[in-house]
Amino acid sequence: MEKIVNPTKARSNLYALIKMTNQDSHPVIIAGADEERSAVLMSKKDYDAMQETMSLIMNGQLQDAIARQNDKNDEEVDLDQMIREIDNEK
């Protein structure tokens, strides 16, 4: 479950919030007066995973991997190997 704090509370508890997001992988919403003054604090590990997933979605590789993984007649898909191959294409 995500935690919501105001900017003042986030500023005074920043270290504890960073530690918490890294421990439980739940984002912290820093809620300003409106969306333009709000932000989300998340762990670097979760951010990197989200960026990788978005990249795979954008280039169509994730859908292909899921389709192959769900196809029982197809050989087993090694997603780690697929990611390495994609990285080498860049």
CATH number of the domain that residue 15 is part of: 3.40.1620.10
Which range of residues forms the domain containing residue 19? 3-42
Residues 32 and 60 in one domain: no
Q: Is the overall model pTM greater than 0.75, yes or no?
A: no
pLDDT (average), residues 1-10:
92
Number of domains in the chain: 2
pLDDT (average), residues 16-38:
95
Interatomic CA distance for residues 77 and 7, integer angstroms: 44
Give the up-direction half-sphere exposure of residue 42: CA atoms within 13 A in the CB hemisphere: 15
Residues 50 and 84 in one domain: yes
For residue 90, the model assigns a pLDDT of 58
Residues 20 and 52 in one domain: no
Residues 54 and 78 in one domain: yes
Q: Does the pLDDT of residue 23 top 70, yes or no?
A: yes
